[in-house]
Structure 1
């Protein structure tokens, strides 16, 4: 029986790791320690999972005490993004394995620290990039490995986050770059890791444009300018807010709705001195909600990437071009939130000199397009012996995904191309 400690009692910790550990993987794993900066989270966690009632809890500064007393074989890191680095490094210093949600950390400098700590440790870092495990994304990897596209020349990836999901990032701590690294790190590292993995190439240079168009105090959708500090649950002008009204019928009681927290609970019971329903039009928001970027890779491939965090629907459009062919696929996420009909996702393969082929993909159940269960199986049961290629991500993959994300926001701020090598050589950034 292997022992697990959890650092950061977030909703992701609950749904992605604790629940599966107590059910699907309970025969091989035991949770022996819980750590969080907010003591209310211990009560929330144990109410949600009564099986953990006797598990020891530890404050943020009691990490070493947790390691001594709970004696974990591995530590799962699922706290606020900026806290990841210290838990990862301390775990490695104890020569234990780390499993961290994405992003691994929030800056390239912190990624360097993790890589250095891992090199000195008997432990290793696993980054839970569940998008790799989507059946469509695995099939794309397999087509590339089979040589169907030849040498990859370019990738076009356009990602759309809808008004329900996108607004949630601006209600919470994600809206501050010091906590999240900005959305080009917190969210887009998912996308950059996918492309890096498909290409099996390291990124070299990034150039980007970006801005805050939909959120923040200057937004044209702000129902009341000049007043900061509002919260959705108590806002006196919420019925004039298009974002609030889109997802909250007037006949219903106010509730916080987003993809990351329990919208049915009284938020005052979930956190101490923190509310996850801050106004999306606050002055303090210091990140972008729109990016367009170009990335050059060491093997010659080029990525054209865009993302918007306030779209009418959620999904992506992807094209990959190679010397022997091209693939295209469009995905619509969260069908219950799309107010129009849309086609089922397929992968269209265009050989360079032959007829198009439409590929239907075998699907599986679970979060993130069926990726979550397969990721967890690889983490807790070991690599699938039927899969002939590597898919589980480590610290280096985490670092390069962050490098592209940081390169994007720095390029926007500095109005110039950013080299990945330059980011890794920056001092005290």
Structure 2
């Protein structure tokens, strides 16, 4: 049995049990974040991330969004889902997910099993869903839900003046993380259950299993403070689609990406610094047959060019970056910006970043480029940002994300 799954009964294979529907609940009246289900996250509506995972999984007989809002309906259909218009009675603040699912089942008698997937879990991957579908369709489980492992010490809540006690460890023998398996917690990413259980008012019962998700894929968005954290997690660990990313050309702004943007001046020379890690990152891309071009708005020193010792073109005194990139694309026979990865850090990079198929910015880039649908590096310019972005580009190409 997979380490990702725990069960309460013996395994036994069964034939497919009936129509399995993925169902995403997306009410329009969220009070915490208005219309959060279609708010842009890493360049796509929040709900689009789970819909893509469910559809690309290929194991659902139908994929639905239950909503009461016209704009959510429009986005759901745009990303390939069917839409169930829920009634006002199950669109209230106090309406439970279970009540909404039960209403859906009343209108769709063909559905035998529901996979309720939370729109607020944007790091969900098709492979996780495929494994869960196998459990409930072929191995006979009646309900399966997602969990994540936490290593958190819990203490009993008490009134002021009372003495608290530890609930899941002994304070005198605090375990090290590597010596403690931790505990499993529901993460709310999905709940699968048969029609029979759901109509009885049960999400978890019968032959029951949990599915343990990787911590990096366990993301939930509840309030605004969750948004920037979720966005960075999605950019690093999210599912980006079946088709592998194809990058033929990477263009990087020298000023503020390869360098830290500072100039050191003495009486005779201007000096700049760069990281050897970034040079290694460029070499990694060259080894993957990705052409690399560097550009600068300044007059780049010939000494820098020779010190890099890289077989890549560098163009200085660039006033129109888009024009230069498109000239390079023509020289390489590239007809689409979708095959271009661009790394920039300043306002003059915005136009090229908008066009590029893959985008990256250093951690200390200006706000305008950070707010775009770009991979935001943890490292700053001149301190390994290019190597970090190169790793990201290679991951996209190799994993089909």
| Bigger radius of gyration | 2
The normalised TM-score by structure 2 is 0.29
The normalised TM-score by structure 1 is 0.27
Higher relative contact order (CA 8 A, sep 6+): 1
